[in-house]
Amino acid sequence: MKKNTKIYIAGHKGMVGSAIWRRLESQGYTNLIGKTSKELDLRDQKAVQDFFKRERPEAVIDAAARVGGILANRDHPYQFLMENLQIQNNLIDCAHKNGIEKFIFLGSSCIYPKHAPQPLKEEYLLTGSLEPTNEAYAIAKIAGVKACEAIRMQFGKDYVSLMPTNLYGINDNFDLKTSHVLPSMIRKFHEAKLKMEKAGQSEPVENRSELVDNEFVELWGSGSPMREFLFVDDMAEAVQFTLENQLPEYLYNIGTGQDLSIKELANLIQKIVGYKGKVKWDSSKPDGTPRKLMHVEKMTKAGWVASTSLEEGIRKTYNWFLENEDNFKEVKM
């Protein structure tokens, strides 16, 4: 891959796409192109066809998708299914028809069955039923993986799918209605901390004689599910690695190979944010998949491993949140 290769990054303003853009630009790539959703509606087949004919990119990285947490997926399954199918189908098909040999499709660990053995291996795809709370999104992403595999088999093109574990980091979505668990916790703990400070209740709970009734942060579920988290800048490095190498397989898991419980995650974020109050778990809310740990041996053998610890990544994310607190994204469905 030459430094002046024309690379189109779909979704370049999102958390993942912007991280990939920053990474490639920092590594000397000089011919990156991207369009905002207002400039190019990726759900519009003709608009995407016209864009490819006009711009003629030489490689494509698909980081564009409608994404969200359990609540958003549960309440808007049609949008998560249909819009993701439209986006990826238009990109994959137009790339293929315009002779593009290198295509990187980004998905999610939710493509694997809910009760698949742990850690999740690539060969577990389509061996069982999916987690109901994000089934629509998962089905769309599975279709994208299979489309890239089919092009790879039938036409010999270097179309590769990367399935990251739960991503977080700079430019994350902190909207409590649509965000994933980690950024949602950061915002909840931060706002609770500010509320306590305003009320003059900044001392730790055990050091105070009286507690206000609403002095707690409520989190969904039991806190028992196990999750793995990958800092988005590490994901960007994995994309660069895939861009610069011709990998032998069509599907690769991207992660750290380490997980922790949601309750342990909450304790870590609470410590980093500096919230001194209580945490209450609403067990009436869904937990989602019991465990999602990625088997990352294929990518490790290929030559890439994650380098950012969870605590370091959360600290970087929280610092970014503080710097952009007044401008973080509110997502409308």
- Judge whether 28 is annotated as a binding position: no
Lookup result for tokens 């992403």: 141
300 annotated ligand binder: no
According to the annotation, is 291 in a ligand binding site? no
From edge to edge, which strands make up the β-sheet containing 158-164? 32-33, 7-10, 59-62, 102-106, 158-164, 251-254
Q: Are 56 and 33 in contact (CB under 8 A)?
A: no
167 a known binding residue? Answer: yes
Beta bridge partners of 158: 102
Annotated ligand binding at 107? The verdict is yes
Which among 114, 97, 87, 24 has a CA at the least distance from the CA of 57? 97
Contacts of residue 333, defined as CB under 8 A and 6 or more positions apart, other chains included, come to: 72, 75, 76, 79, 178
Gap between the Cα atoms of 234 and 310, Å rounded: 11
Burial 122-148, CB ≥16 within 10 A → b, else e: bebbeeeebbebbbbbbbbbbbbbebb
Q: Is 157 annotated as a binding residue?
A: no
Distance CA 316, CA 12 (A): 20
Report residue 151 as tokens: 């092009």
324: annotated binding-site residue?
Answer: no
> Does 307 show up as a binding residue in the annotation?
no
> Taking the alpha carbons of 263, 267, 268, 270 in that order, is the dihedral positive or negative?
positive
Count of CB atoms within 10 A of residue 188's CB? 22
**Nearest one of 243, 241, 260, 244 to 299, comparing CA atoms:** 241
Instruction: Flag whether 180 is marked binding.
Output: yes
| 108 assigned ligand-binding residue | yes
Catalytic residue among 8, 29, 112, 137: 137
Q: Is 8 marked active-site?
A: no
Determine if residue 242 is labeled as part of a ligand binding site.
Answer: no
On whether 221 is known to bind a ligand per the annotation, the reply is: no
Check the annotation: does 15 bind a ligand: yes
CA-angle at 178, arms to 256 and 7, nearest 5°: 60
Q: Would you say 14 is a known binding-site residue?
A: yes
16 is in an annotated binding site: yes
Annotated binding-site residue? 129: no
Q: Which residues are annotated as a binding site?
A: 11-17, 106-109, 141, 164-167, 180, 188, 220, 227, 287
Q: Which residues are annotated as a binding site for substrate?
A: 188, 220, 227, 287
Just list the catalytic residues: 137
Q: Which residues are annotated as a binding site for NADP(+)?
A: 11-17, 106-109, 141, 164-167, 180
